[in-house]
Amino acid sequence: MQYTPMASKPKVVVTRKLPEAVEARLRRDYEPVFNPDDHVYSTDELIALADGADALLPCHSEHLDAGAIARLPASVKAIANFSVGVDHVDLDAAKARGIIVTNTPDVLSDATAEIALLLMLGAARRAAEGDRLVRTGEWRLWSPAFMVGRQITGKVLGIVGMGRVGQVTARRARGFDMQVHYHNRRRLPAEAEQGAEFHERLDSLLGACDVLSLHCPATAESHHLINAETIARLRPGLILVNTARGALVDDEALLEALRAGHVAAAGLDVFNGEPAIHPGYRELDNTFLLPHIGSATRETRDAMGFRALDNLDAVFAAREPGDRVA
């Protein structure tokens, strides 16, 4: 159902630069407050901009913890996130204030799964190292022993978090004849598993796979899921892929394993403290690093924006938003 504009358009604070088509729809239906230079707002800036606003449209780059939410003006009725993950918002604090919180699921599953495969291949085949050799003119020879990487075809892929993105990643990986194993809070129905092997315990999965891909949300329970203890249980020579959240990984533990070769390579699109990532990752040849671009396709970013606006449309039409998380 298309949103019918109110006589007085709701004021929406848009924290980052959005696709042109999304901003056009915002101008049509709302009174948007845009961020023309696309900088990351401090909490104080965001609170000041929210004065008199009816809603916020933030990204994962804004941290709306309990303190920030407590300072929001009473006029704010909704936080419509331009993201699937909502670990940057204190949902309990929002609920306590009666603020509706939504996200944008489904629409970025394909794009993020593509990046997971790119990271997998890039890490396995030493793509970053090879690209650097060509660009710097250091490529001097070819020999059978030169730039030998690892093959993923026919290997066992372990997926932690078999939600929307995890399931699409599994389907794409089957194109490489990979055997899919997974750990999830609950086992999927057989039609969704498509032959994947379920591991009720994470420990069971860790030692069974050649590639481990993280697709679970960042929560208190999953914080530093990949740590010294869990890394010790991994099959030696494993390739680790993370397109979910940096908080899933203990950087020091992973870097130690990469230096020792226990983890052969890592393909990472997300990091703790990004963009100020741990410098150790830059120093290693066996890392393939991307700047959090899992959803960065034109099609997906448009779809995310429209999904966020669909949720806002519902809120201001007194309907239940389809993607409510608080």
By the 10 Å C-beta count (0-12 exposed, 13-18 middle, 19+ buried), 80 is classed as buried
149 and 261 part of one domain: yes
Structural domain including 158 reads 109-289
**What is the set of active-site residues?**
245, 274, 292
Q: Does the pTM of the predicted model rise above 0.85?
A: yes
Percent of the chain surpassing pLDDT 90 = 98
State pLDDT tens for residues 69-123: 999 999 999 999 999 999 999 999 999 999 999 999 999 999 999 999 999 999 9
Give me 263's structure tokens: 């983890």
Q: Are 251 and 222 in contact (CB under 8 A)?
A: no
Q: Rounded to an integer, what distance in angstroms lies between the CA atom of residue 171 and that of residue 191?
A: 12
Q: Rounded to an integer, what distance in angstroms lies between the CA atom of residue 301 and that of residue 199?
A: 33
Mean pLDDT confidence for 158-170: 98
Does residue 7 have a pLDDT over 70? Answer: no
Domain-located, residue 3 = no
Does residue 51 have a pLDDT over 70? Answer: yes
228 and 271 part of one domain: yes
Counted domains in the chain: 2
Give me 9's structure tokens: 């358009």
Domain-located, residue 321 = no
229 and 280 part of one domain: yes
- HEC string of 52-81 equals CCCEEECCCCCCECHHHHHHCCCCCCEEEC
Q: Are 211 and 238 in contact (CB under 8 A)?
A: yes
197 and 268 part of one domain: yes
Q: Are 6 and 288 in contact (CB under 8 A)?
A: no
Does residue 1 have a pLDDT over 50? Answer: no
Give me 57's structure tokens: 């449209």
State pLDDT tens for residues 10-45: 999 999 999 999 999 999 999 999 999 999 999 999
285 and 230 part of one domain: yes
Mean pLDDT confidence for 186-204: 97
Domain CATH for 312: 3.40.50.720
Q: What pLDDT, on a 0 to 100 scale, did the predictor assign at position 98?
A: 98
164 and 268 part of one domain: yes
Give me 117's structure tokens: 């495969």
Of all residues in the chain, what percent are helix, strand and coil, respectively (each to 5)?
Answer: 35, 15, 50
Q: What pLDDT, on a 0 to 100 scale, did the predictor assign at position 8?
A: 87
State pLDDT tens for residues 221-232: 999 999 999 999
71 and 92 part of one domain: yes
237 and 164 part of one domain: yes
Q: What is the mean pLDDT of the chain?
A: 96
Q: Rounded to an integer, what distance in angstroms lies between the CA atom of residue 79 and that of residue 326?
A: 9
